């Protein structure tokens, strides 16, 4: 790894040296010639690195590489200091120009600095000359390092390669027999093929899939490469796409089963699901149930390849086939077909095969490497010597993963991967943060020919690491952007292996002796408030060489005098941290500073000296209110994130910004909205607050939001109050048209009675041409109390989420576009939240308020504080999953719920006029959570409650106050297998709890509110499944009675807010 580090840093130094040498200040200071000399010497050395890498096993070359590493690191720090001085003078020059101030400098101090830097550059040149001479003495030759082709992981396919499958004949026959027997006995047979990476699972599955018997036996065969964890719905969607060769327009579970039934219902099918990661039994139970619903005839089969040994149901485990490694003879047969060795190389070749530990993947990879060297004994000996000799499974996997690492396309991606060793195992790695950290270390070198940013390079590196399976469990945000990933534990071990002694992640205090003078990246979690322990620990780390320092836990104010080389400082999640020492301003190399989730109140004035700083994060810092003056000095700042209650820094000319979470408009120069116009590269998410401070449409247009193509989430917000006096909100919003790429739009406290044309049409006007905002995924309109008509959200093809809050004048969700009353609002909407809509009466002009009138694919409908809603009716079939109705004071009737056969969550709270709940029988196959609270005209539980056998959470009451007791729960015993949590609300004169509760043998949590019970019934004492019991506002019940009557197995018991039993589970 030394060669990788040197290569990456050297590339950065070469570009930095040329850039500084061409700068007017460096020329004036007399550095140009020495910097160009440094460039030339380093270029000569870099040309020898490839040869040095090949000979890295020799002691002399290893010593040379380590010396080179130290000099290169020293040169990097030195050039960074020179570049810092260049930036400082650029700031001074800018201030002189903008403020018309004389450019005064301390000539004596500057002359000393210039001489000192000049001597240091010459010293580095001397060291590089010596190292170059040593390289010649070692016989190292110049070699051009061509770009290694990118070995991106390709999606698997069902087609067999020309070479014959080796060593899997018995396993193939076994699977064929299983599938043949399934024709007679089983509706669906699932056969997992299990084994570690590289063992040959996919190759075996291909061989079975392409077997003529299989092709004859099945009417339909399909191959899917899964590769990542997917939910059932997505898996069904993938299967449909593979079988039908088209996408499903309405990808709900119910519709997918229907569509698959059309394709497979009358046919016998075989599916191969390659590289599956989901192992939970409940997942496979549900999946099997779905597929049996697709086709209930005997003889269907699914082959699953997976690394998960304990996968799925008992039947799946019984049918599973765990692959073992190939024998040495089988491996040699495969190897020699690839490598075609000369007879005299057979002994070496067989030893190479033995070191592959029977893994076909490794045999093929090594065979392919040696294929072009079939007569080169030296190359074969080199490969033989370099292979890992360990016999443990972890060593085998490490060797395979190391091949992935070695075949990464460039040294930058290798160093970026190695840096990830600083994180704890199982840490979720956020993509944007990773890229910012790589950037801060100078790892992301920009190609001037491609006109791209460092962030673009970081995105490419991230993709490379994902494609090579070094990053896994990739998650995307709601807008389709990759958000995070994880490293497998074994991959993390690899990152530790390749990073050598440069990274350390540690818990302090520790009893272990730690002395690692070469550590550059240090992550510490401190358990106790003891700065002395912290400093003592870091002293052994040679703190003056640290480039990264993560401190998490209990950390008070600390000095940074001993951390002169820091590029990255992360102090987030330190809730005892209230301030930052002024010495932070002396960290001239610092590029990344994260103070999020601390109680910091102010930033030190010295922060404005950090001219190299690229990223500053102050998220969730509740005590932080204002930036210091002079923030415009941070001329390298690219990412600035903070909360919307922070006063925006005045006169902040940060034209390099790519990320700005909040812009609060002010009247002072630098805080006016025209300042956004200067931020040409702004992207990501942006909230603009205090828009009442904008005086006109023309002023708003100076923000140039329509030109910011990389902004995808935008929030426009006016302050609350004085809405009646504001006359220009419409003009201002008219001037804030967004780019067509926007995916999220939020408008808050807008005071006009209609939106401007671009909002109403959901289009942006560019150069006289209207372009639809058809990439919008979510829209939120809040506090727009005078608006009379909804914009044309129905025309947005990708709209998923719509939030309407405190839209006091809106009576209908129909837009003013004249759409027909039979048309739904949207064809794509998945989630609708209606909150505080005082006059809203109906969804559309249709007779009843039904989900089908909102969207045919709506999954969540939340209705809160809507007093004009009187009637709901869900008679028509609809795939709604969640229905929440809260505080709708005049809601009298819910006509029917029978159309909601996919409903999983039903909440009806505080609807005092509601006279009844419709029959719930149709919800028995889907409902998991039911909460009916404070609907005080109800006299009984809903009919059909006994059909809710899948229910896991149930909350009921209080019912009509004049009842003598809680209504009957007859039939609740049918929930015994799944119900885990039960909450009952009563009245103080109800002296008993429904005895039917005793039948709930799986119940774990019981909450009783406001009952008049005096003691715990014996049947409750005998409920051994209960783990947690709570009695709230049960004032006739005392502590002794509860202690006496609580089940012995209960781990938590409280009465009226006081915990009386608390013990940890032995499991």
CATH of the domain at 579: 3.80.10.10
User: In this predicted structure, what is the pLDDT of residue 554?
Assistant: 66
Q: Quick one: 675 and 736 in the same domain? A: yes
DSSP state of 968: P
Dihedral sign (CA 994, 998, 1003, 1004): positive
Of 137, 155, 187, at which residue does a domain stop? 137
Q: Quick one: 566 and 417 in the same domain? A: no
Q: Quick one: 598 and 654 in the same domain? A: yes
User: In this predicted structure, what is the pLDDT of residue 805?
Assistant: 97
Q: Which string of b and e fits 882-914 if b means at least 16 CB within 10 Å?
A: bbbbbbbeebeebebbbbbbbbbbbbbbbbeeb
Closest CA to 352 of 375, 373, 380: 380
Q: Quick one: 332 and 446 in the same domain? A: no
Query: 């190759």: which residue's tokens?
Result: 203
* pLDDT tens figures, 175-221: 888 887 765 667 888 888 887 666 788 888 888 888 888 877 888 89
Can you give the CATH number for the domain in which 421 is found? 1.10.10.10
Q: Quick one: 227 and 131 in the same domain? A: no
**8 A C-beta contact, residue 553 and residue 581:** no
Closest CA to 621 of 675, 673, 577, 591: 577
181: in domain:
yes
Of 460, 484, 499, at which residue does a domain stop? 499
Can you give the CATH number for the domain in which 192 is found? 3.40.50.300
Q: Quick one: 945 and 1014 in the same domain? A: yes
User: In this predicted structure, what is the pLDDT of residue 84?
Assistant: 87
899: in domain:
no
Exposed, middle or buried by CB within 10 Å (0-12, 13-18, 19+), for 344?
A: exposed
Residue 990: half-sphere exposure toward Cβ, Cα within 13 Å: 24
Q: Quick one: 564 and 613 in the same domain? A: yes
Helix, strand, coil percentages (3-state) for the chain, rounded to 5, are 35, 15, 45
User: In this predicted structure, what is the pLDDT of residue 558?
Assistant: 76
- State phi, psi for 1055 to the nearest 5 degrees: -135, 120
| Cα–Cα dist 84/106, whole Å | 17
815: in domain:
no
**8 A C-beta contact, residue 843 and residue 850:** yes
859: in domain:
no
* CA dist list (Å): 620 to 290, 617, 664, 923: 44, 9, 17, 42
Q: Quick one: 35 and 51 in the same domain? A: yes
845: in domain:
no
Contacts of 784 (CB under 8 A, 6+ apart): 747, 748, 749, 750, 751, 755, 806, 807
Q: Quick one: 434 and 560 in the same domain? A: no
The domain of 62 spans 2-137
User: In this predicted structure, what is the pLDDT of residue 449?
Assistant: 57
Q: Quick one: 443 and 310 in the same domain? A: no
Query: 């390298």: which residue's tokens?
Result: 636
* pLDDT tens figures, 581-599: 899 999 999 999 999 999 9
Q: Quick one: 191 and 314 in the same domain? A: yes
User: In this predicted structure, what is the pLDDT of residue 647?
Assistant: 76
833: in domain:
no
Of 636, 660, 684, at which residue does a domain stop? 660
Question: For the chain, what is the domain count?
Answer: 7
User: In this predicted structure, what is the pLDDT of residue 811?
Assistant: 92
Segments of the chain scoring below 50 in pLDDT: 101, 103-104, 107, 145-154, 159, 162-163, 389-391, 393, 817-819, 1065-1067
149: in domain:
no
User: In this predicted structure, what is the pLDDT of residue 149?
Assistant: 35
Q: Quick one: 187 and 114 in the same domain? A: no
User: In this predicted structure, what is the pLDDT of residue 152?
Assistant: 32
Closest CA to 313 of 291, 273, 335, 281: 281
* pLDDT tens figures, 661-703: 999 898 877 788 998 998 999 999 999 999 999 999 999 999 9
| Cα–Cα dist 956/327, whole Å | 64
User: In this predicted structure, what is the pLDDT of residue 104?
Assistant: 46
126: in domain:
yes
């Amino acid at each position: 790894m030394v060669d990788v580090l040197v290569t990456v840093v050297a590339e950065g130094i070469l570009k930095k040296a040329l850039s500084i040498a061409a700068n007017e200040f460096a020329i004036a200071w007399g550095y140009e010639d020495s910097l160009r000399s440094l460039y030339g010497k380093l270029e000569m050395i870099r040309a020898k690195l490839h040869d040095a890498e090949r000979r890295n096993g020799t002691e002399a070359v290893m010593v040379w590489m380590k010396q080179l590493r130290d000099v290169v690191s020293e040169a990097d720090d030195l050039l960074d200091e020179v570049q810092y001085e260049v930036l400082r003078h650029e700031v001074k020059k800018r201030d002189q120009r903008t403020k018309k101030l004389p450019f005064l400098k301390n000539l004596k101090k500057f002359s000393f600095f210039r001489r000192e830097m000049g001597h240091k550059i010459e010293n580095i040149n001397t060291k590089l000359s010596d190292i170059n001479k040593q390289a010649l003495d070692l016989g190292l030759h110049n070699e051009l390092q061509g770009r290694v082709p990118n070995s991106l992981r390709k999606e698997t396919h069902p087609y067999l390669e020309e070479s014959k499958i080796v060593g899997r004949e018995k396993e193939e026959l076994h699977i064929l027999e299983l599938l043949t027997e399934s024709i007679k006995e089983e509706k669906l047979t699932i056969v997992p093929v299990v084994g570690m990476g590289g063992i040959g699972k996919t190759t075996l599955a291909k061989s079975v899939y392409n077997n003529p018997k299989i092709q004859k036996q099945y009417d339909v065969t399909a191959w899917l490469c899964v590769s990542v964890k997917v939910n059932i719905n997505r898996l069904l969607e993938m299967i449909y796409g593979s079988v039908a060769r088209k996408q499903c327009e309405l990808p709900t579970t119910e519709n997918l089963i229907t569509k698959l039934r059309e394709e497979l219902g009358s046919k016998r099918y075989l599916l191969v699901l390659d590289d599956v990661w989901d192992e939970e039994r409940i997942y496979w139970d549900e999946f099997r149930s779905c597929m049996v619903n697709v086709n209930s005839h005997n003889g269907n089969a699914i082959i699953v390849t997976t690394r998960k040994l304990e996968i799925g149901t008992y039947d799946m485990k019984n049918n599973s086939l765990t692959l073992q490694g190939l024998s040495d003879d089988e491996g040699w047969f495969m190897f020699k077909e690839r490598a075609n060795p000369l007879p005299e190389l057979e002994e070496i070749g067989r030893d190479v095969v033995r070191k592959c530990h029977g893994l076909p993947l490794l045999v093929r990879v090594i065979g392919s490497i040696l294929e072009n060297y079939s007569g080169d004994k030296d190359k074969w000996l080199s490969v033989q010597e370099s292979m890992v000799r360990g016999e443990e499974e972890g060593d085998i996997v490490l060797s395979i993963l190391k091949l992935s690492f070695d075949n990464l396309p460039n040294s930058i991606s290798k160093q970026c991967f190695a840096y990830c060793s600083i994180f704890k195992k199982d840490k979720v790695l956020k993509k944007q943060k990773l890229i910012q950290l790589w950037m801060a270390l100078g790892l992301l070198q920009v190609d001037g020919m491609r006109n791209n940013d460092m962030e673009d390079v970081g995105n490419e590196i991230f993709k490379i690491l994902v494609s090579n399976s070094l990053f896994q469990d990739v998650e995307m945000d709601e807008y389709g952007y990759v958000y995070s990933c994880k490293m497998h534990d074994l991959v993390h071990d690899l990152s530790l292996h390749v990073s050598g002694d440069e990274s350390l992640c540690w818990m302090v205090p520790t009893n272990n002796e730690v002395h690692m003078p070469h550590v550059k990246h240090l992550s510490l979690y401190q358990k106790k408030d003891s700065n002395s322990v912290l400093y003592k620990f870091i002293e052994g780390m040679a703190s003056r060489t640290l480039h990264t320092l993560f401190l998490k836990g209990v950390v008070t104010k600390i000095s940074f005098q001993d951390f002169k080389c820091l590029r990255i400082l992360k102090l987030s999640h330190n809730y005892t941290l209230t301030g930052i020492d002024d010495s932070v301003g002396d960290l001239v190399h610092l590029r990344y500073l994260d103070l999020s989730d601390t109680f910091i109140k102010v930033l030190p004035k010295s922060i404005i000296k950090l001219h190299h700083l690229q990223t500053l994060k102050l998220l969730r810092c509740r005590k932080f209110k204002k930036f210091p003056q002079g923030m415009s000095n941070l001329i390298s700042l690219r990412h600035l994130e903070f909360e919307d209650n922070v006063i925006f820094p005045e006169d902040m000319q940060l034209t390099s910004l790519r990320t700005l979470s909040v812009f609060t408009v002010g009247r002072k120069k630098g805080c006016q909205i025209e300042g956004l116009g200067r931020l040409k590269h702004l992207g990501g998410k942006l909230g603009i607050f205090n828009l009442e401070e904008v005086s006109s449409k023309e002023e708003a247009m100076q923000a140039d939001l329509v030109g910011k193509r990389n902004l995808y989430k935008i929030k426009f917000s006016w302050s609350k109050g004085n809405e009646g006096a504001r006359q220009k909100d419409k003009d201002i919003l008219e001037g804030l048209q967004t780019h067509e790429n926007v995916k999220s739009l939020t408008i808050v406290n807008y005071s006009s009675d209609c939106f401007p044309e671009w909002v109403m049409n959901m289009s942006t006007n560019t150069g006289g041409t209207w372009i639809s905002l058809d990439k919008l995924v979510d829209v939120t309109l809040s506090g727009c109390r005078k608006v009379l008509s909804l914009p044309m959200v129905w025309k947005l093809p990708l709209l998923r989420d719509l939030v309407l809050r405190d839209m006091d004048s809106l009576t209908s969700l129909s837009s003013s576009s004249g759409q027909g009353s039979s048309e739904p609002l949207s064809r794509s909407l998945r989630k609708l939240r209606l909150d505080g809509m005082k006059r809203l009466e109906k969804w559309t002009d249709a007779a009843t308020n039904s989900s089908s009138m909102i969207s045919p694919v709506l999954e969540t409908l939340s209705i809160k504080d809507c007093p004009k809603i009187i009637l709901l009716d869900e008679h028509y079939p609809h795939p709604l999953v969640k229905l929440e109705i809260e505080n709708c004071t005049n809601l009298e009737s819910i006509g029917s719920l029978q159309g909601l056969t996919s409903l999983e969550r039903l909440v009806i709270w505080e609807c005092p006029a509601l006279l009844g709940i419709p029959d719930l029988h149709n919800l028995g196959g889907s409902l998991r959570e039911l909460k009916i609270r404070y609907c005080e005209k109800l006299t009984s539980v809903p009919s059909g409650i006994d059909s809710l056998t899948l229910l896991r959470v149930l909350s009921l009451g209080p019912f009509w106050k004049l009842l003598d007791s809680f209504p009957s729960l007859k039939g609740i015993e049918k929930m015994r297998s799944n119900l885990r949590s039960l909450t009952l609300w009563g009245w103080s004169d109800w002296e008993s709890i429904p005895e039917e509760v005793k039948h709930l043998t799986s119940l774990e949590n019981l909450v009783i509110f406001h009952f008049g019970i005096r003691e715990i019934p014996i049947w409750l004492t005998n409920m051994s499944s209960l783990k947690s019991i709570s009695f709230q506002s049960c004032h006739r019940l005392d502590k002794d009675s509860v202690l006496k009557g609580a089940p012995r197995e209960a781990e938590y018991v409280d009465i009226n807010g006081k915990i009386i039993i608390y013990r940890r589970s032995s499991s």
